[in-house]
Amino acid sequence: MMKCQCGGLLRFDLQHLQDAGRLGLRDQVSLLWKCMVCGRSRKSDESYPLSQVVASLDQLTLADRSQG
Ligand SMILES: [Zn+2]
């Protein structure tokens, strides 16, 4: 689990992905996490194709569902 400089947990920013999709930035999307405590955001150094990011997110979501 990634953590912020303040020690708070970082949560993956889905809104950022939706914005990228809407703006047509589908080739190279950087990943964004937001701290749940101080609100500071952290960006990935590398960027990835949006389809690849969404596919990995789907897998995570499915994994969550299978547990519940
Ligand atoms: Zn923080």
Read off the pLDDT of residues 9-67 as tens digits, 9 standing for 90 and up. Answer: 999 888 888 888 899 988 989 999 999 999 999 999 999 999 998 888 877 666 666 55
Name the token pair of 11. Answer: 């949560």
Q: Separation of 45 CA from ligand 1 center, angstroms? A: 18
Give dist(CA 14, CA 63) in Å, integer. Answer: 17
Confidence at residue 65, expressed as pLDDT on a 0 to 100 scale: 60
pLDDT at 56: 83
pTM of the model: 0.71
Expressed in angstroms and rounded, the spacing between residue 24 Cα and the centre of ligand 1 is 30
How many alpha carbons fall within 13 Å on the CB side of residue 28?
Answer: 4
Length of the chain: 68
Centroid of ligand 1 to alpha carbon of 66 (angstroms): 31
Q: State how far the Cα of 19 lies from the Cα of 42, in Å rounded to an integer.
A: 16
Cα(31) to centroid(ligand 1), Å: 17
> What's the pLDDT at 15?
87
Q: What are phi and psi of 65, to 5 degrees?
A: -65, -40
More confident residue, 3 or 59: 3
What integer pLDDT is reported at residue 39 of this predicted model? 95
Span from the CA of 59 to the centroid of ligand 1 (angstroms): 27
